[in-house]
Structure 1
Amino acid sequence: MKCPPILATEKERLKALFEYGLSSDRPLPSLDPVVQIAARMFSMPVAAVNMIGSDHVFFAASTGLEGAKVDMSRDVSFCAHAITQDGVMVVPDATQDERFHDNPLVTGTANLRFYAGVPLLSPDGHALGALCVIDGQPHHDFSQEDRARLRELARMAADRLELRRVELSTEQARRPFEEFARHSPTAVVWFDGQGRIVAWNDAAAALHGYEISEGAGMPVTKLLREQDRPIAAELIAHAATARTVDGLVMPERLHGLRKDGTEFLLGLSLFCWYERGCLTFNAHLQDLTARRREEEELHRLANTDLLTGLANRVSFYRRMEETLTRPLPAAVLMIDLDGFKDVNDTLGHAVGDGILREVARRLAKTTGPDDMVARIGGDEFAILLPGISTPERASELARLVISRVADPIVIDGHEVRVAASCGVAVAPMHAQEAVELIGNADLALFKAKSIGRGQSFLFVTALRMEAMARRLHNIELHRAVNDGEFVLFYQPQIRLSDGTLTGAEALIRWRHPQRGLLSPAAFLPALEGGPLAAVVGSWVLDEACAQAAFWRRNGAVDFRMGVNLFGAQFRVGDLVAEVASALEQHGLPPQALELEVTENIVLDNDDLVLESLQRLRALGVSIAFDDFGTGYASLSLLKQYPLSRIKIDRSFVQGMNESERDASVVRAILDMARSFELETIAEGVENASQHDHLRRFGCEEGQGYLFGRPVFAQEFAEVFGIGSPMRMGARA
């Protein structure tokens, strides 16, 4: 078992934790809804907020552990590991993790198998503990979306912890002077049962602007503003009758009065005792104006977005909970700005900030006094509309919001137009709980953005089903990677002039255990957009290089292998180093590998892709531009990118015999390729007529059903007589 490391700032961390006044016998009830939401959201039996002490761990809130006996020592705590990391710590299967496989929580009756936890930080950045979800079953499907939602709940928990610290600080400010005298000057006044000052100290006299000699005999109520004096007189009379101040509740907003007539917020602590048969009162006074101002500012900062002045995410969630608890009908609009990143990238963040402020102003102006507008983060906003119960009215307001945002915005002399997409959900029709309703509005927003710019969409149950389907699909993809269900097929590439085999394109397939062999159309969109793209891309590269090297050693001396790249491979790790390593490992010369990229990859990661491709080309690897002719930026990319080959898209090849326009496009592409000294290959060649036309036009190579369908390595080798395949597939 690996014990959790101790942070370098452990002393400061424990000091910060102490300020929250929590312990094993003093949990924080306001955190209960957070852990309950976490358990429901992720379908986990256990969720908890664990605070990490010096040598032990205690629950600030938990669900699913009622009556359970759990080892709470710090050495065995998973959360004690989580607070040493940034972001979410996920342990898919603790029995397979070298840190935890022999941990008593794993091997004992607790039977902990899955863990996901995120640190809870103080305002100064000290890790107080962690919000976690736990299961006795392993899970390999905890997605990036799940991590984001757990972080969201952790922010909610951290905000509630901070409110606890503020409330505790406020309570301490109202305690007797003796508890904080070490840090604050003491103003003390002694007066008798009739409310006459017997004596006071220098601090009390100075607090009210008097000389110390002016105090004796003065009515103590004269130190209060006039409207507070009856309250104080009644309080003193009650204490004098009862001969004790026990049970008296001190007014919270008393105001002191100085000699010059100015007022200030007064903190009052009152004591009394009998001395020589007479009742004497002792009052400790404090000017709370500055403290109250600081507390109000802290509350403002905790609930306000500093850039726009709107409510922030935490305040929005809290207001939503309050609204739905009553319960009241309400609508939620989730709003995201389309194209805002382009504005930031081209005009700078100062202009971007100005746009966000202007959008916030327009949203606030569009809504009513009972509505709440919040900036959730980045370029995302939210609107809570209490009392809106019909989808029609909510959708109408969504269209109005989109229209207002679409008007031109002038910032620093720049006229900018941004569009807004909007997702709509209505309570109680779509949900009765705040997190679920906001999540449904988010799903509707995701759908709206998929339709196009400036669109709105009303939540429907099918969106939740689609989200669940995506999650299940991601689970299956993880299994496919772990269990080696992906395989490569190979489609021949032929020299048109003499029919010689020049190489092949490696094409991925999924050998699904229930659905059989799946083509890329069934899974590639989900794979490309998910977290596994880089992993699978690395496997494809290694597998294809190994197969190409094997065939070159067995007769196909000049064989070239084409490998399609995922966009994620440019963002994760060092693609150039990975390619160089694969070539070296399999003894493959660089010219034997051709990497294929699409226009979408190039445009999504402009500078990053350009630099990587330049380094790969310098290494000697060929670069092919796939699906050429179908995108709007292809011509400009020919000038900028270090390409060696363009692949003419099948849509032009298949129509060239019947359509002179398609034939003209093919001829134009070939002419451009010759001008740029690029090689060419046509995709989708299915008949001899297409073959003949392409050869006459000067196209060098072809690929398509005329020459061969994509097949397993064994069948490919048999057809082209280049020996047996090295292997049929491998674990990705």
Structure 2
Amino acid sequence: MPSSGSDVTPDDEGARLAALDGYAILDTAPEREFDDIVRMARRIFAVPIALVSFVAADRQFFKARIGLDLCQTDRAGSFCTHAILGHEVMVVPDARADARFAASPLVTGRPHVRFYAGAPLVTPDGFVVGSVCIKDEVPRTDFSDDQRRTLEDLGRLVMERLEARRLRLAGRDSRKQFESIAAVSPDAIICADGANRIVFWNKAAETIFGYAAAEALGQPLTLIVPSAFRAKHEAGLARAAAGHPTTLVGAVVTVPACRRGGEEFPIELSLSHWTEGGEHRFGAIVRDVTERVRAEERLKREAELDHLTGIANRKVLSDRMEEAGRDGAAATLLLIDLDGFKDVNDSLGHAAGDAVLTTVAARLSAEAGRDALVSRLGGDEFAVFLKGAADPVAGADLGRRLIAAVERPIEIDERCIYVGASVGIAVADAAGWESGALLGDTDLALYRAKAEGRSRVALFTPDLRAVARTRTSVSSGMREAWERGEFEMYYQPQVLLDTGAITGAEALIRWNHPDRGLVSPAAFLPVLEASLLAVPVSEWILRTACQQAAQWRRLGFARFRVGVNLFAAQFRTGDLPRVVGEILTDHGLPGDALELEITENIILRSDARINADLRELRALGVGIAFDDYGTGYASLTMLKDYPVTRLKIDRSFVSGVERSRKDQTIVEAIANLARGFSLDVIAEGIETREQAELMRRHCAEGQGYFFGRPMTARNFGELLKAVRHRADDGACRAHERKAAS
């Protein structure tokens, strides 16, 4: 057990350090066999940092590292100092939340470690000399038992390499050193003479091969060589005895061997050659690497196969595409994105979602056929790659068949689940193409397919690149607009339908471009919401709108309320209620001066925290309006589950209400539904007096061009002053009439 307090030194520290010294590994140069392991670890666990660390008396030395520039650090405060205290994998989900590491310079400074997992490196005698570890800059709470076992396998692989290195060094010593090692070695130590007869056979050799020393001594060394390799083995020894160079002597190789019962198995072999009394001698250090080979095969599968579905992963697809491009082969790539999959995860849980993904992967593989590579790129996105095919018609036909396969009902726990798919396709002829460009073209086609609706197949055409460039141009232009202050707020009045009195306004962001003038919101809002600017711009909108509302309230409109549309990104920050509360306090506003508008898409794209955030906002007195109500498919459930205070009837129902009985019925149904939930109602998009009169029967408030278009804060302020002036004039005339009477 370790000692208490900040001193986390194992009780067997002296013996442990002696065991570490025995490997002569500290301050040695990088070696490929260890570097390959950290590269494999980073690929398997998708982390930026992977290390093989040996913990010395006052420091930790990194024999292999990737993602970290340091070759050693102080032992004090390091993660690996704690990892060597036991024989189990140590996992730190969030270093900032762990008192042992929160103040560590590795956490507070570069490389800003948040997650750590380390498998101890245990010697055959049970001493822990270091660890193979992975680190990430973000916390992880989902490190599974399978991942722990995989990390343990990597730890065993490091120790295999370390032991092999030690024995390889030992094999270069003299015969006396060779035999002293053999007496205690856990590996088989075998010696043979120039005639290929066994002259030394240790206890480990008895265990590994099944022959007692008395049975093996004097027998040809081919006793343990599979029959298919015996001739080659004898010829190699003869060349070495004749003084000719051989690739086996002095090298560590993995070759097949044979047990007493005839079972073949892999061994790691280090072969030495010397003369003794004028006679040739050969010494072999042999290790049974059956388990290691199995672990390597499993690690290789994990590195190349998607862990959930068992099909190829993104790396395999990338390698196969690059190979086809180098070969100058024609190719077709299909990207498949599932429609409705998030609903499955949200309503039935991730276990059901995993079952759906596994079923979809199997169906895609069956439909695509043996000549196709089917891979999962991540999440609910899959790819099908066909080398040697560049037929867009055949590709589109396959895309439709894949969609049909996905759309068949999936039965899970006696429940039928339905998902759809969208498919983007790009083809490349044999004239030469680049894998990244083909993937980008296919992604553009998928974007078009999803934009056109569900269950669509779209082929890439060159015009899609121009569309993508436009989106990129808008994105880069928005950042410049933000830095130059080109965004401004417009306000559209909201009025009482029976009197026309202004009760508030909806705040709407506009981009006033210096050359193009006002940019259409449809051209930049979707890009803005998906960009890194979403959070800072959305907070600016809230602050600007509340500041303006406070000014108008001071003009005498004491009940004035401003409505602000929320972005999905605001819920992902985790601090929306705090930010709103601070803004209201800064401007001296009560909660009911602000109404936040949400849409169904925001709820569907956000995590489970959104409901808690909305309830905190309601506790502040802030109104929650459901925008575009009536256009979604899950709105009834959301009314029941979310703290909504008002419904906004979508303009698509209002614009035809005077002509369409169906629109009137929908409006009436929404109004009745709102009354049943004790919710207010406001109608959007009112453009005529007739629409205003019809909507007055069902709604208390309305907004639209009939009452005023979105306008600058200055123009809106003048409108309010005019309204107040008319109200003052009306009051004076009423007073004069009363005095005259």
TM score, norm. by length of structure 1: 0.71
Q: Who is 1:283 aligned against?
A: 284
Q: Who is 1:586 aligned against?
A: 587
Q: Who is 2:299 aligned against?
A: 298
Distance in 2, Cα, partners of 1:713 & 1:511: 14
Point out the more displaced range, 52-61 or 225-234: 52-61
Q: Who is 2:713 aligned against?
A: 713
Alignment size in residue pairs: 625
Q: Answer 1 or 2: higher relative contact order, Cα 8 Å, separation at least 6.
A: 1
Q: Indicate conservation of the 8 Å contact 1:430/1:459, yes or no.
A: no
Q: CA deviation at 1:56?
A: 12
Distance 1:634 1:60, change over 3 A: closer
Distance in 1, Cα, partners of 2:390 & 2:571: 47
Q: Who is 1:134 aligned against?
A: none
Are residue 178 (structure 1) and residue 170 (structure 2) matched?
yes
Q: CA deviation at 1:487?
A: 0.9
Q: Who is 2:455 aligned against?
A: 454
Q: Who is 2:521 aligned against?
A: 520
Distance 1:620 1:364, change over 3 A: closer
Q: Who is 2:543 aligned against?
A: 542
Distance in 2, Cα, partners of 1:251 & 1:58: 20
Distance in 2, Cα, partners of 1:201 & 1:446: 67
Distance in 2, Cα, partners of 1:432 & 1:117: 40
Q: CA deviation at 1:236?
A: 1.8
* Structure 1 gap segments, 5+ residues each: 1-7, 10-14, 33-47, 63-70, 76-84, 88-98, 100-114, 132-158, 725-732
Letter paired with 1:343 = V
Are residue 425 (structure 1) and residue 426 (structure 2) matched?
yes
Distance 1:179 1:296, change over 3 A: farther
Q: Who is 1:617 aligned against?
A: 618
Distance 1:221 1:520, change over 3 A: closer
Q: CA deviation at 1:298?
A: 2.4
Letter paired with 1:178 = A
Distance in 1, Cα, partners of 2:393 & 2:471: 29
Letter paired with 2:298 = E
> 5 Å matches for 1:24-423?
169=161, 176=168, 178=170, 185-242=186-243, 254-423=255-424
Q: Who is 2:56 aligned against?
A: none
Distance in 2, Cα, partners of 1:201 & 1:562: 85
Letter paired with 2:705 = Y
Q: Who is 2:509 aligned against?
A: 508
Q: CA deviation at 1:608?
A: 4.6
Q: Who is 1:701 aligned against?
A: 701
Distance 1:222 1:572, change over 3 A: closer
Point out the more displaced range, 120-129 or 618-627: 120-129
Q: CA deviation at 1:234?
A: 0.9
Distance in 1, Cα, partners of 2:514 & 2:164: 64
Q: Indicate conservation of the 8 Å contact 2:34/2:161, yes or no.
A: no
Q: CA deviation at 1:586?
A: 0.8
Q: CA deviation at 1:712?
A: 1.8
Q: CA deviation at 1:541?
A: 1.6
**SS at the partner of 2:711?**
coil
Distance 1:586 1:314, change over 3 A: same
**SS at the partner of 2:328?**
coil
Q: Who is 1:626 aligned against?
A: 627
User: What's the Cα RMSD here?
Assistant: 4.9
Q: Who is 2:474 aligned against?
A: 473
Q: Indicate conservation of the 8 Å contact 2:503/2:560, yes or no.
A: yes
Q: Indicate conservation of the 8 Å contact 1:196/1:219, yes or no.
A: yes
Q: Indicate conservation of the 8 Å contact 1:594/1:621, yes or no.
A: yes
Q: Who is 1:555 aligned against?
A: 556
Distance 1:257 1:531, change over 3 A: closer
Distance 1:173 1:669, change over 3 A: same
Distance 1:617 1:300, change over 3 A: closer
* Structure 2 gap segments, 5+ residues each: 1-7, 10-19, 40-47, 54-58, 74-91, 95-104, 120-130, 138-150, 173-180, 725-741
**Percent identical across equivalent pairs?**
43
Point out the more displaced range, 633-642 or 486-495: 633-642
Q: Indicate conservation of the 8 Å contact 1:223/1:257, yes or no.
A: yes
Distance 1:599 1:26, change over 3 A: closer
Point out the more displaced range, 488-497 or 534-543: 488-497
Distance in 2, Cα, partners of 1:286 & 1:486: 70
Letter paired with 2:340 = G
Letter paired with 1:376 = L
Q: Indicate conservation of the 8 Å contact 1:29/1:61, yes or no.
A: no
Distance 1:184 1:471, change over 3 A: farther
Q: Indicate conservation of the 8 Å contact 2:34/2:52, yes or no.
A: no
Distance 1:720 1:236, change over 3 A: closer
Q: Indicate conservation of the 8 Å contact 2:328/2:430, yes or no.
A: no
Deviation track 1:230-261 (CA, whole Å, cap 9, x = no partner) reads: 11211122122227757869795644344444
Letter paired with 2:571 = F
**SS at the partner of 1:401?**
helix
Distance 1:173 1:229, change over 3 A: farther
Distance 1:534 1:366, change over 3 A: same
Letter paired with 2:701 = E
Letter paired with 1:589 = P
Deviation track 1:33-53 (CA, whole Å, cap 9, x = no partner) reads: xxxxxxxxxxxxxxx999999
Q: CA deviation at 1:663?
A: 4.9
**SS at the partner of 1:538?**
helix
Deviation track 1:280-326 (CA, whole Å, cap 9, x = no partner) reads: 33333333333323322322222223333222332332233233322
Distance in 2, Cα, partners of 1:332 & 1:365: 17
Point out the more displaced range, 181-190 or 269-278: 181-190
Distance 1:331 1:122, change over 3 A: farther
